[in-house]
Amino acid sequence: MKKLQQYYIFKISTTQLNHSNYNLQISFIEAQKSAKIISLGDSQMLRTLRAIKNINIDINEIDLLLSEKRKIKKRSHNKENLKLLLEVEKKLTDLLFVPEIISVFVDDIKHYKYIGKNGFIIKNMLGLLVEQVKQEETMHYLLTKNMKKRCILFLTMTEKILK
């Protein structure tokens, strides 16, 4: 039985957003190093998002890239193999990272209220344009300069907030 394909999304806490004055600047590599990239199994939500955006994911291509990555890792460590590994990882990231989905962990109700009213900005995520997440009623949007790109925003509350 084949394993479920994992995709990657950005995860941030409202405390981290607050510390950056709700204007976070971070690259994909920085986010990965600081454990702000999490995996998410393929689901109907992701399939629907890909259908809306007209994105076709070739599972065979992903499998080939993963296999190539494993082979390169087994080779001797040198600059040529490192370059090949980085190229393969970049291709995998381009295929598997879902910038439209951001997981926001709410650890202070004041932060939640601020984000609901004012939104927040993330810069340099995979070289994307400045994107702003803003709440409107119960829908959450990721707004770019041209206001056409949408985002699914997950808010996770701590028990302290819910009480």
Residue 61 has a pLDDT of 93
Q: What is the Cα–Cα distance from 55 to 76, expressed in whole angstroms?
A: 36
In a domain, 158, yes or no: yes
In a domain, 78, yes or no: no
The residues near 86 (Cβ < 8 Å, ≥ 6 apart) are none
How many folded domains does the chain comprise?
A: 1
Q: What is the Cα–Cα distance from 55 to 70, expressed in whole angstroms?
A: 26
Digit-coded pLDDT (tens) for 34-59 = 888 899 898 888 888 888 878 888 88
Question: Residue 24 — pLDDT band, cuts 50, 70, 90?
Answer: confident
CA angle 26, 91, 10 (to 5 degrees): 30
In a domain, 103, yes or no: yes
In a domain, 77, yes or no: no
Contact 109/138 with Cβ under 8 angstroms?
A: no
Position with higher pLDDT, 79 vs 136: 79
In a domain, 137, yes or no: yes
Using the predicted structure, report yes or no on whether residue 132 has a pLDDT greater than 80: no
Contact 135/93 with Cβ under 8 angstroms?
A: no
Q: What is the Cα–Cα distance from 19 to 126, expressed in whole angstroms?
A: 22
β-strand 6-13 against 97-106: which pairing, if any?
A: parallel
Q: What is the Cα–Cα distance from 149 to 117, expressed in whole angstroms?
A: 19
Using the predicted structure, report yes or no on whether residue 129 has a pLDDT greater than 70: no
Average pLDDT over residues 128-135: 41
Digit-coded pLDDT (tens) for 87-121 = 999 899 888 988 777 888 888 888 878 887 777 77
Using the predicted structure, report yes or no on whether residue 147 has a pLDDT greater than 50: no
Using the predicted structure, report yes or no on whether residue 136 has a pLDDT greater than 70: no
**Containing structural domain, residue 132:** 6-54+96-162
Residue 154 has a pLDDT of 53
